[in-house]
Structure 1
Amino acid sequence: MVLSRGGTVSAAPTGVGPAAQLGGRAFVGYHPSWNDRGAPLGAIAGQYSHVMLSFARPDLMWSGLESGTWKGTGLEFSAPPDKVKEEVALLKATGAKVILSVGGASYGGWSTLAAEAGHDNQQIKNALTQIVRDLGLDGLDVDYERHAADAATVEEYTRVIQALREAVDAARPDGILALAASPTGSDYTAATGDEGTGRRSGSGGSAGRERMTFRRTVPSGPHAGRTVGELVDLLNIMAYDSGSNFYDQAVAYEQYRAIMPARTVVTIGMISGKHAWGDSILVNRIADATCKGSVNIADQYRRPSGASNSVERLADIVLAGKDHPLDGLMLWHVAKQPEITCDGRPPASPASIAEIVRAKFAPHTGP
């Protein structure tokens, strides 16, 4: 079974693809276009339910397959577009959905795209629609990484999500809109309000941003009157961005699950090795969490945690959500090796993560 727009479930192609291996649950892998020689798309076929091609510019220009170039897209594949299209087709033949991720930490310039929301025949939306069609993709991914939650940011974020939803809809009626969410975007904060919970996260930056954005009403266009959160089919929490001192992935998952529609698939994000701005270390099993960074000291609200930052635990968190049988995990990124140890032992790597996820998510075949 595979995820399609609206959280509905449809039959996977014949053969053992990711959906069959994962019991229908999402296992999302971000593929870095700048590293396709070291980790070609074909090398990950059959491992992930969703593959995110990273990253396109928010002000994308697209010259078409016949141009033979990625100029203006922000993508850095060494192979030309027609060859990448062939690799995309091979991935899709295993049951995977292949999605173009827009933005990321390196690309800004969202204002023009935001201004196109709700309007027809717009340059960037048209280019995004065309690249989805030309490469045979399944949708787009919003990776808006401005670390702020002020009113202007929330307004622009709202418009960006709307514009990308419209671009996906124009490309294909069953298209998927995914979103890479801030690790603390669902938090309650002093600045964004605690909604009577009494919870006040100490996090700053983007804390509470998604909570505020997703409740807003789409102001114009074909989705006018819907909430912004309803436009998102697949939400991937960038949980690895917040380190281990004051963060617990279980709290983030619970909070995001509470603010997203039931049909939206939610995943917890992982990273192999150290992050450029995080101190957490992902290990394979709960029992492996013996080194600094592999154990969460406290959660977002400064409540003692002591829970492991392990693939095993994160899989167990989503498996416990019986009402959401498609929820799963996400990996940033599929080619990143750990290059560190945890008390002398290797931590989680893309290969070991995929092995544990397959075993955990495999459909039950016993009595």
Structure 2
Amino acid sequence: MGAKAEVPLPPRILLGYHESWWEVPASGARATRLAALPGHITLVALAFARPDTQYHGALELAGTGLQYPYSGKVLREAIQLLRQRQPETKVLLSIGGATYTNWHALNEASLARLVRDLGLDGVDIDFEPAEPGCRTSRDGQIRCASDPAFQAIVKRMRAALPRPNILSVASWSVGAYGEGRHANAVPRSRYTGMALSLLRSPEAAAIDLVSIMAYDAGPDFDPWQAFQAYREHWSGPLVLGLRVPQTPMQREGTTLSARMESLTRNVLRDPKGGLMVYSLSGIPSGPTGPDNPDPQSVVTMICREMALPGCSTPLP
């Protein structure tokens, strides 16, 4: 079921991914968008670092995977300035994602050095194998070819970054489907049940936060059902991800914004439930509106539902 978090996570988590390639060029911290993030983004993930990062110190970002259009010195100063402005905000280094997949060459020592040199609060593991190889065993449990690697990544990163560093795991939309009450949950995909072996393994005790990538799973996918499925296997802080922008869409009787608001309210009934937005810099295609919301409108809605202060403060 997972361990209770032993790190100072915010009481209500609004996790935002800060895509480094969308940041504006800057010669100083005050000119960065990162430093100007509002305080209701309580957890920020810098996206993305390479698992096989080659970082030798001196805040040299070449080889790390981060694509900030300024120096490592400016990045560290921007993080420091954000903390001065928003003392409760935590900042993580997000590792992996869809592009950086060389996990067999994981360099946890370099990643830990980068976390320390930038003054970050921990890491977010975004492990997305192309072929996880998940199958239902005779005992009814799902086991995946990727299980040993996933568990080893968590174990090695926790050893490199002991608590109070935060260790978050971003998990697939259908990663808790395939067993128990959710054995027949749809949609089925090669990622069905991918998170289950990790969450029942000893390595789960090293995790502080699970974040569900509850998007890009097709029209039959129900994010609320996914949240409930993960909750059966993980008792700690659990965050449901909303992708912004999405493809503009309409459904009879309700708007995308209304569905996001209803989903947010359901999640927040869970005392350890929170929300994630991917990403803070997304630009919708076409005019924004109830069926094509932008990051600002979604973040503001979540902030108000969480009753956090400063909800009118705009994203930079």
Normalised-by-shorter TM-score class: 0.7 to 0.9
1:8 Cα deviation (Å)?
Answer: 4.8
Partner of 1:33: 20
Q: State whether structure 2 residue 65 is matched by structure 1 residue 74.
A: yes
Q: TM-score, normalised by structure 2?
A: 0.83
What amino acid maps onto 1:241 in structure 2?
D
> What does the per-residue CA deviation read over 1:330-359, in whole Å, with 9 as the maximum and x for residues that have no partner?
0101000222458x7562211111211111
Match of 1:29, SS state, is strand
Asked if the contact 2:277/2:299 (under 8 Å) is kept, the reply is no
Cα distance in 2, alignment partners of residues 241 and 265 from structure 1: 23
What amino acid maps onto 1:348 in structure 2?
P
Asked if the contact 1:165/1:231 (under 8 Å) is kept, the reply is yes
Asked if the contact 2:7/2:165 (under 8 Å) is kept, the reply is no
Within the candidate set 207, 217, 233, 1:259 is matched to 233
What amino acid maps onto 1:335 in structure 2?
S
> What does the per-residue CA deviation read over 1:152-175, in whole Å, with 9 as the maximum and x for residues that have no partner?
311111111211222221xxx311
Match of 1:174, SS state, is coil
Matches within 5 A, 1:142-291: 142-150=125-133, 151-169=144-162, 173-188=163-178, 194-195=179-180, 199=184, 201-216=186-201, 227-243=202-218, 245-260=219-234, 262=235, 264-274=236-246, 281=249, 288-289=254-255
1:287 Cα deviation (Å)?
Answer: 7.0
Match of 1:141, SS state, is strand
What amino acid maps onto 1:157 in structure 2?
F
Bigger RCO (CA 8 Å, 6+ sep): 2
Partner of 2:262: 313
Cα distance in 1, alignment partners of residues 308 and 89 from structure 2: 17
Match of 2:292, SS state, is coil
- Over the matched positions of the two proteins, sequence identity in percent amounts to 29
Cα distance in 2, alignment partners of residues 43 and 282 from structure 1: 33
> What does the per-residue CA deviation read over 1:93-113, in whole Å, with 9 as the maximum and x for residues that have no partner?
311100000001001111132
What amino acid maps onto 2:297 in structure 1?
S
Partner of 2:137: none
Cα distance in 2, alignment partners of residues 280 and 337 from structure 1: 12
Q: State whether structure 2 residue 82 is matched by structure 1 residue 97.
A: no
Partner of 1:302: none
Within the candidate set 109, 121, 128, 1:138 is matched to 121
Tell me whether 83-92 or 355-364 shows the greater mean CA deviation.
Answer: 355-364
Cα distance in 2, alignment partners of residues 54 and 320 from structure 1: 29
What RMSD in Å do the two structures reach over aligned CA positions? 2.8
Cα distance in 1, alignment partners of residues 72 and 50 from structure 2: 16
Asked if the contact 1:37/1:78 (under 8 Å) is kept, the reply is yes
Match of 2:215, SS state, is helix
Q: Kindly tell me the number of residue pairs found equivalent between the two proteins.
A: 289
Match of 1:98, SS state, is strand
> What does the per-residue CA deviation read over 1:281-313, in whole Å, with 9 as the maximum and x for residues that have no partner?
599xx9751xxxx4xxxxxxxxxxxxx873311
What amino acid maps onto 2:217 in structure 1?
S
Match of 1:208, SS state, is coil
Asked if the contact 2:94/2:126 (under 8 Å) is kept, the reply is yes
Partner of 1:338: 284
Cα distance in 2, alignment partners of residues 30 and 335 from structure 1: 8
What runs of 5+ residues in structure 2 fail to find an aligned partner?
26-31, 134-143, 310-316
Quickly say closer, same or farther: Cα 1:198–1:336, change in 2 above 3 A: closer
Match of 2:146, SS state, is helix
Asked if the contact 1:85/1:136 (under 8 Å) is kept, the reply is yes
> What does the per-residue CA deviation read over 1:166-215, in whole Å, with 9 as the maximum and x for residues that have no partner?
2221xxx3110011110000001xxxxx3476535441121111012322
Cα distance in 1, alignment partners of residues 154 and 249 from structure 2: 31
Asked if the contact 2:174/2:187 (under 8 Å) is kept, the reply is no
